[in-house]
Chains A and B, each alone.
Chain A
């Protein structure tokens, strides 16, 4: 079963320059649906679709196992504007 921690480590391993990553199990601990936030400057210059595709590729195996997945990808600058 997937956990928030296993997703976090996979992201840290596969996506370059991860500044911050948040993973939330939105299926109340059932490991079936997750919301993920990834902050990395590897996203600079990429549009929303390209960013999501990067994360999708990195978490390809994990996503195939779960029912629902949603992710938000920010660069460090965008993230700093949100988290004041």
Chain B
């Protein structure tokens, strides 16, 4: 989607909440006096015009003019990228490496493919079903592809939550509780709505060797469901910080 330069906080709030509609939103913080931003400005503009990003909302924010917004995201240096979805920070990047940013964005898009309600996830499901009817080779490939997709998904963010519904609209009591716990401990996390993708829902049960949802992954490693997270916190109030560092 075309790059929008933020002019005021209201516009910023609107574009990142009510008008976001589950889209990935990229926040690009820049400063007019910063030399590296000049080159990055062009990169961001080009990315926003790319057809593969037609569903990604790119917002550029002058960090000096809108220092309150910059403070919200702890922007300490420019250029600075924050990738958010459904009011949750998926990734943050400091620095001027376009390749790093593009790969971070792609990781978020892969995670979003299933979580979003777009037709893309339906298409992925249909593909898997059609292959099931054909000979064994095709089936195996689909399982391998699913395995690869699951590996990428579980590593899409340092903390990844596979839940029913979304953080703003959980569709199950346990999922709602775990979102509450993550927010209470101010843990930034990415999420995936398993109700929107049945192959991930079933595949992940095998992948994690765990029969229920929600499921929490930290640094690509399965941690457990709600019970285990609660118990771990009882034993160690710094559970999340420690797990993230290991």
The total number of A-B Cβ pairs within 8 Å is 34
How far, in whole Å, are A49 and B209 apart by their CA atoms in the complex?
A: 10
Contacts of B173 in A (CB 8 A): 68
| Interface residue? B67 (CB, 8 A) | no
Interface string of B195-232 (1 = CB under 8 A from A): 00000000000000111100000000011111110011
Check if B211 sits within 8 Å of A60, measured CB to CB: yes
Contacts of B224 in A (CB 8 A): 48-49, 52
Residue count of chain B within 8 Å CB distance of chain A: 16
Check if B231 sits within 8 Å of A48, measured CB to CB: yes
Q: From residue A66, how far is it (CB to closest CB) to chain B in Å? A: 9
Check if A68 sits within 8 Å of B211, measured CB to CB: no
Query: Which residues from 11 to 60 on chain A have a C-beta closer than 8 Å to any C-beta of chain B?
Result: 48-49, 52-53, 56, 60
How far, in whole Å, are A63 and B231 apart by their CA atoms in the complex?
A: 21
**CB nearest neighbor in A for B222:** A49
| Interface residue? A70 (CB, 8 A) | yes
Contacts of B210 in A (CB 8 A): 53, 56
| Interface residue? B240 (CB, 8 A) | no
CB<8 Å pairs between A and B, sample of 5: A49-B222, A52-B225, A56-B210, A60-B211, A69-B211
Q: Which residue numbers of B lie inside 8 Å of A, CB to CB? A: 172-174, 209-212, 222-228, 231-232
Q: Which residue numbers of A lie inside 8 Å of B, CB to CB? A: 48-49, 52-53, 56, 60, 63-64, 68-72
Q: A49-B222, A63-B211, A64-B211 are in contact. List 8 more A-B contacts (CB 8 A).
A: A48-B224, A48-B232, A49-B223, A52-B224, A52-B228, A56-B210, A63-B212, A70-B227
